Amino acid sequence: MSLPITAAQDVLREKFAKNRVTILVGETGSGKSTQVPKFIRSLDPEHERIAITQPRRVAAINLARRVADEMKVSVGKEVGYTVRFSNMSGASTGIKFLTDGMLLRELLVKPKLSQYTTIVLDEAHERTLLTDLLMGFLKALLRQRTDLRLVIMSATIDAERFSAFYDDAEVLYVQGRMYNVERFYLPAPVEDVVDAAVRTVVQIAMGEKTGDILVFLAGQEEIDKATDMLTEVAQSWPKEAPELAVLPLYAALPQNQQMAVFERPKGNRRKVVLATNIAETSLTIPGVRYVVDSGLHKVKVWWHDLGLDSLLVVPISQSSAAQRMGRAGREAPGKCYRLYTEQDYRNLKTQNEPEVLRCDVASPLLVLKCAGVDNVFKWDWFERPQKKAMVASLTQLYALGALDNAGAITPLGRKMALLPLAPHLAAVLLKAQAAGVEDAVLDIVSCLSIENLLMNPHPDKRDDVNEKRQPFVQASAGMGDLLVLRELLVFFRGLGSRDEKRDWCRDLYINFRAMSNVEDIKRQLQGYLKTKARADNDHRITAAEAEQVIKCFLAGFVCNTALMLPDRSYKTVVGSQTINIHPSSSMFGKRTEAIIYTEYIFTTKAYARMVSPIQLDWLQEIAPHFLNRREA
Ligand code: CDP
Ligand code: MG
């Protein structure tokens, strides 16, 4: 009731009733995501069917729970959510939170989106590729459906661009409640930002009596490290200072642990939340008075020359820095400690680069083709990708067999577009269906659909963990990491109790919760493929089948292959770049004439992960059209 947006609700209702398109700008935490759907629904509770998109699945789930709670209903009825591999909505759902990717899939199946009266694109300032794409589709749809209402919500004030795209749609601003935040810079740059963050947290925790602390770090690795360090410090904590409850928050974390950041910790403890940019705008954590900002985040970057994408740690923008700082001033005056110099701050870009300009556009292009857009270059993009990127992605789709010589979508491409997987993984799965190794490939693809299933042990523990994983490497008969993954899954399935499974996972550095989700994902994928579950889940595959499995992956990852040179280094087939087998791979230190890999990471060197051996003639067998074309 006391949210800033509540005061404006009558005006908002009136505007939503009148405008076909409205741009709503409001400070993070002002109540946009949780309240706007309810305002719209109240216009006509019988008939309003509202879809609200979120770039992140955690946010979609969390918001649905919150709104259901506020309305005193259970999730899945009036209020629900749909995210990849989990659907909690039904015929009676009037307010549905869903990821932007899921709305796009629904659009392919029902191009008019007639199941909804209103679409709300939330977190539009994040400029994810999929939200950008939806903006274009909805612009066209608004012309066809005069009864459709569109609301675009953003946490930053640069809304003119959205307005201009929709024929000068009205922009409304919700005044947020913002207290003053004092900001501090470092006098000189630091070498180790995790260490600096930990020291800053300790300093705040000793010096300030109340208020929770929110720390922004680049990614899981940094967060895990800081969590360990702080947990250790907390053990010899002086009695005078309130105890610390150290809580990590990142997308790959099990859900119950994610939810812990929203609760009051037991006793007199003060929360220290260590988060990625997930806490920047899409989730609001109550109680925060101090923000520690590393100035870094992880973004997906696409390497045109390699035909690969990978996550890189890069400096944030000034706009992100402002958002992070704002988290400290929501409930009372706060403080923000920036772990960089004022000069560094001035050198930051003002805005983050939109995803569409730095990511692989194969998946969106396939969606466009599937939706009947022939000339993707001429489509009404909210922001047009670079021509080079589009050409590279079209080539990739052609190599996958999703497009024909004339650039038209093939029946295979149509099937790929409807699977909730990246085009190359979809291609693998469809190939497996034809090759009779569907079950094993489904196992592997399900595993690959979960981030961080195999955890990266601390370098001290790496040898120990590798040794424990060795029997599974043996069982895979040298066919590489993909088959090791399946061996691990089959063994996990065979274990008895939950405790037994959990202990085994801990021992082998496998994410227990993630592993437990694999079966569910497999079931959902089977649903999409319309195949029945087979009873031979633990079927041990033969050498010939293993070869088939790798060939299926080759059909999807033909661009991600590398050849061994006489000096034993590997050079990528596409782009001719040097690449190394990652030390965590079962193929590390082994020799084989060529490899295929499904993951690429760049740290000090370029590394291939999830590596399997291949033979050169398989390339010719699986992707002749691709190779011939390249020679031509
Ligand atoms: O979307 P916006 O950032 O404008 O705000 P919101 O997500 O609608 O959140 C409004 C308020 O509800 C915030 O002050 C949150 O603290 C609170 N909230 C919460 O306590 N628990 C949730 N799961 C979601 C929101
Ligand atoms: Mg929001």
Q: What is the average per-residue pLDDT within 172-199? A: 92
**Ligand 1 closest atom vs CA 62:** 23
| Amino acid 263: pLDDT | 84
Q: What is the average per-residue pLDDT within 485-512? A: 93
CA atoms of 380 and 142, how far apart (whole Å): 13
Q: Are 393 and 307 in contact (CB under 8 A)?
A: no
Q: Which residues contact 616 (CB under 8 A, 6 or more apart)?
A: 563, 593, 594
Amino acid at 483: L
Please name the residue that has the structure tokens 């309003």: 48
Q: Are 562 and 571 in contact (CB under 8 A)?
A: yes
CA of 311 to the centre of ligand 2 (A): 25
CA of 62 to the centre of ligand 1 (A): 10
End position of a domain, from candidates 387, 418, 449? 418
**Ligand 1 closest atom vs CA 65:** 23
Cα distances (angstroms) measured from residue 29 to each of 34, 85, 196, 427: 9, 28, 28, 41
**Which bin fits 571, alpha (ψ -120 to 50), beta or left (φ > 0)?**
beta
Asked if 26 and 58 sit in the same domain, the reply is: yes
| Ligand closest to the CA atom of residue 24 | 1
CA atoms of 416 and 430, how far apart (whole Å): 8
Which CATH number belongs to the domain containing residue 237 in this structure?
3.40.50.300
Asked if 196 and 340 sit in the same domain, the reply is: yes
CA of 211 to the centre of ligand 2 (A): 23
What is the dihedral sign for C-alpha 274, 277, 280, 283? negative
Confidence band, pLDDT 50/70/90 cuts, at residue 330: confident
Asked if 136 and 186 sit in the same domain, the reply is: no
Q: Annotate 33-65 with DSSP letters as a single string.
A: HHHHHHHHHHH-TTT--EEEEESSHHHHHHHHH
**Ligand 1 closest atom vs CA 5:** 4
Asked if 131 and 225 sit in the same domain, the reply is: no
pLDDT exceeds 60 at position 234 = yes
By most ligand atoms within 8 Å of CB, the mutation choice from 1, 9, 34 for ligand 1 is 34
CA of 527 to the centre of ligand 2 (A): 32
Does residue 245 fall inside a structural domain? yes
Asked if 386 and 334 sit in the same domain, the reply is: no
Q: Which residues contact 196 (CB under 8 A, 6 or more apart)?
A: 186, 190, 294, 339
Asked if 318 and 213 sit in the same domain, the reply is: yes
Q: What is the average per-residue pLDDT within 587-591? A: 90
Asked if 340 and 393 sit in the same domain, the reply is: no
Domain total for the chain? Answer: 4
Residue-number span of the structural domain to which 626 is assigned: 557-632
Confidence band, pLDDT 50/70/90 cuts, at residue 632: very low
Q: Annotate 60-103 with DSSP letters as a single string.
A: HHHHHHHHHHHTT--BTTTEEEEETTEEE--TT-SEEEEEHHHH
28 lines ligand 1 (CB under 6 A): yes
By most ligand atoms within 8 Å of CB, the mutation choice from 24, 123, 125, 284 for ligand 1 is 284
125 lines ligand 1 (CB under 6 A): no
Confidence band, pLDDT 50/70/90 cuts, at residue 359: confident
Confidence band, pLDDT 50/70/90 cuts, at residue 353: confident
Q: What is the average per-residue pLDDT within 556-567? A: 90
393 lines ligand 1 (CB under 6 A): no
Sheet holding 21-26, edge to edge: 86-88, 79-83, 95-99, 50-54, 118-121, 149-154, 21-26, 170-174
End position of a domain, from candidates 355, 376, 406? 355
Asked if 262 and 313 sit in the same domain, the reply is: yes
Does residue 486 fall inside a structural domain? no
Asked if 136 and 210 sit in the same domain, the reply is: no
Token pair in block for residue 35: 């309240």
Does residue 139 fall inside a structural domain? yes
CA of 76 to the centre of ligand 2 (A): 20
**Ligand 1 closest atom vs CA 31:** 8
Asked if 218 and 320 sit in the same domain, the reply is: yes
pLDDT exceeds 60 at position 630 = no
| Amino acid 304: pLDDT | 60
Q: What is the average per-residue pLDDT within 552-563? A: 91
| Ligand closest to the CA atom of residue 284 | 1
32 lines ligand 1 (CB under 6 A): yes
Does residue 467 fall inside a structural domain? no
66 lines ligand 1 (CB under 6 A): yes
Asked if 220 and 250 sit in the same domain, the reply is: yes
Closest residue by Cα to atom 18, ligand 1, is: 284
Does residue 493 fall inside a structural domain? no
pLDDT exceeds 80 at position 265 = yes
| Amino acid 227: pLDDT | 92
Q: Which residues contact 10 (CB under 8 A, 6 or more apart)?
A: none
End position of a domain, from candidates 120, 151, 174? 174
262 lines ligand 1 (CB under 6 A): yes
Nearest to 80 by CA among 604, 90, 509: 90
Asked if 380 and 319 sit in the same domain, the reply is: no
Q: Annotate 212-265 with DSSP letters as a single string.
A: EEEEE-SSHHHHHHHHHHHHHHHHT--TTSPPEEEEEE-TTS-HHHHHGGGSPP
pTM equals 0.84
34 lines ligand 1 (CB under 6 A): yes
